[in-house]
Amino acid sequence: MSTNTMNVNDVVDNAKFTKSHLSIMLWCLILILFDGYDLAINGVALPLLMKEWGLTTVQAGMLASTALAGMMFGAMLFGTLADKIGRKKVIMICVFLFSGFTFAGGFASNPTEFGILRFLAGLGIGGVLPNLVALTSEYAPKKLRSTLVTTMFSGYAMGGIMAALFGSWFTPNFGWQIMFFIAGFPLLLLPLVWKYLPESLTFLVKVKRDDEARKMLQTIAPDQSCGSNTQLELSEVVVPGGTTVKALYQQGRGPGTALFWLCFFMCLLTLYALGSWLPKLMMAAGYSLGSSLMFLLAMNIGAVIGTVGGGILADRFHLKPVIITLCLAGAVALSLLGFNSPQPVIYFLVAVAGASAIGSQILLYSYVAQYYPLSVRSTGIGWASAIGRTGAIVGPILIGFLLAKELPHQINFMAVGLPVVIAAIAVFFIGKSETEKETTQVLASTEKTLKAQRVLS
């Protein structure tokens, strides 16, 4: 029996969009929606927890950062682990952790219990992010990759919208606890996730589970003939150092890796400072809690528009200029928030800030996913995310200190906006790695060959 060879990466890159692509993106979107919800409930719950437990702004900032510390360790651990045991298993473990312990957080009776449960939930939240990004990116056709990753990631902002709405609807009657009980819903979805979410194609080929890989290839590229005699291969570059952090600094990726880490740190500092403190910042500027929750809603609506629109623009103009533009627009909007303006203008500025803080962060995930070769993709995303989590930890604590000093609120908003300016400068200096250049050349060569075959046929 004759055998033929099929390059898995080329098939995925050139595949037409199918129901299978849509299914993968939607399942990842649903899971990341609750990750965004988990971020936003800090902003909803903090003012209520401060009142109930008599916390200062500094103590509340420290409490908000416990989950973020867990996210840092989770991103380090589970990003690397997925490259070794597969993304699907790690995603299941992470969903169980973040949903189960967030649900348990609703039963906390004091700040210590609450902080421990939030740290444990953070392990899952931080671990699931890089794997959902890597899985969506891996299955997406090349021409739609940024669009699909950012559309999936818009679930992050949708979760924030859900938290703001639920906070305004339910907390007056049921207290802050109801927000945490709702977060247990993904536990009910685990059997469906196990059934419908596929394993990483790269991982299946690496561990010689070729029958499963062929079946999945036939689903996402039905026009390709992939029988039992088809030998599967990967076009990825062999990376010295395997799935270690050292590999992220080899083959010309060192400067880019360091700059990505700086970008993630700065963007996550702003993102989590806003997510945790926006209602309180707006209250300090003279607004009520109810209207401040509506600002949280506006921020996340802006984030959805910025994320999806940014992804579409990135597929047309490349990620770099889109991320830089978003960051600078956000810095300007945040600075203007400190000045008295009509309420519609304030809502617009908050929406632009959301598009910048969340949209640029999500596009950075897509950028870093395309920067690293497949064998270290989860490791690269995981470590960038983990370093960024240190910024996420610093953000709420920093704003807690600023609020405690009772500075003019213009200073508070400018302090939140400064990090995204630094992020924009860092993105400007990120160049292509040698691996990325080689991959681009391979794809260009493949496209020329395909065009030539179409002409001949």
pLDDT digits (tens, 9 = 90+) for 11-45: 878 888 888 888 888 999 998 888 778 777 877 88
Q: Rounded distance, CA 148 to CA 351, Å?
A: 22
Would the pLDDT of 100 be above 90?
yes
d(CA 213, CA 142): 19
- pLDDT at position 451 is 56
**pLDDT of 240 strictly over 50:** no
**DSSP states of 207-245:** TT-HHHHHHHHHHH-TTS---TTEEEE--PPP-TTTTSG
Greater confidence, 197 or 366?
197
- The answer to whether residue 234 scores a pLDDT higher than 80 is no
3-class SS of residue 4:
strand
- The mean per-residue pLDDT over the stretch 95-99 comes to 91
- The lowest-confidence range among 96-100, 232-236, 263-267, 398-402 is 232-236
Q: Which of 6-10, 87-91, 450-454 has the lowest mean pLDDT?
A: 450-454
With cut-offs at 50, 70 and 90, classify the pLDDT of residue 244: low
Residue 206 C-beta-side C-alpha neighbours within 13 Å:
18
Rounded CA separation 338/324 (Å): 22
Q: Which two tokens stand for residue 32?
A: 């990341």
Return the pLDDT at 236.
Answer: 55
Helix (H, G, I), strand (E, B) or coil at 429: coil
Q: What is the DSSP letter of 166?
A: H
The topology (CATH level 3) of 4-456 is Growth Hormone; Chain: A; (1.20.1250)
Percentages (nearest 5) of helix, strand, coil residues in the chain: 80, 0, 15
Please identify which residue in the block is written with the tokens 């596009």. 363
pLDDT for 441 equals 54
Provide the residue type at 282 as one letter.
M
| Whole-Å CA distances, 132 to 71, 91, 138, 199, 278 | 15, 7, 10, 11, 27
257-297 pLDDT per residue, tens: 889 999 999 988 888 777 666 766 777 666 665 666 677 78
Q: How confident is the model at residue 250 (pLDDT cuts 50, 70, 90)?
A: low
Strand partners, 7: 233
Contact between 5 and 231 under an 8 Å Cβ cutoff? The reply is: yes
What pairs with residue 175 in β-bridges?
A: none
pLDDT of 1 reads 43
DSSP-derived secondary structure letter, 198: P
pLDDT-wise least confident of 33-42, 150-159, 429-438: 429-438
Task: Report the range of poorest mean pLDDT among 167-171, 285-289, 312-316.
Answer: 285-289
Band the pLDDT of 341: cuts 50, 70, 90: confident
Backbone angles phi, psi at 363, to 5 degrees: -65, -30
The one-character DSSP state at 339 is S
Confidence of residue 96 (pLDDT cuts 50, 70, 90): very high
- For residue range 52-93, what is the model confidence (pLDDT) as tens digits? 888 887 788 788 778 778 887 887 788 778 878 888 899 999
Q: Can you give the pTM of this predicted structure?
A: 0.71
For 205-230, what is each residue's pLDDT tens digit? 888 787 888 888 878 877 777 666 76
Q: Where are the domains of the chain?
A: 4-456
Q: What is the mean pLDDT of the chain?
A: 80
Tell me how far apart the terminal alpha carbons of the chain are, to the nearest angstrom: 26
- Residue 446: the pLDDT is 47
Is 60 exceeded by the pLDDT of residue 436? no
Q: With pLDDT > 90 as the criterion, what percentage of the chain qualifies?
A: 10
pLDDT at 386 over 70: yes
Alpha-carbon distance 4 to 224, whole Å? 12
The pLDDT of residue 116 is: 92
Tell me the average pLDDT across 195-213: 83
Least confident of 14-23, 97-106, 443-452: 443-452
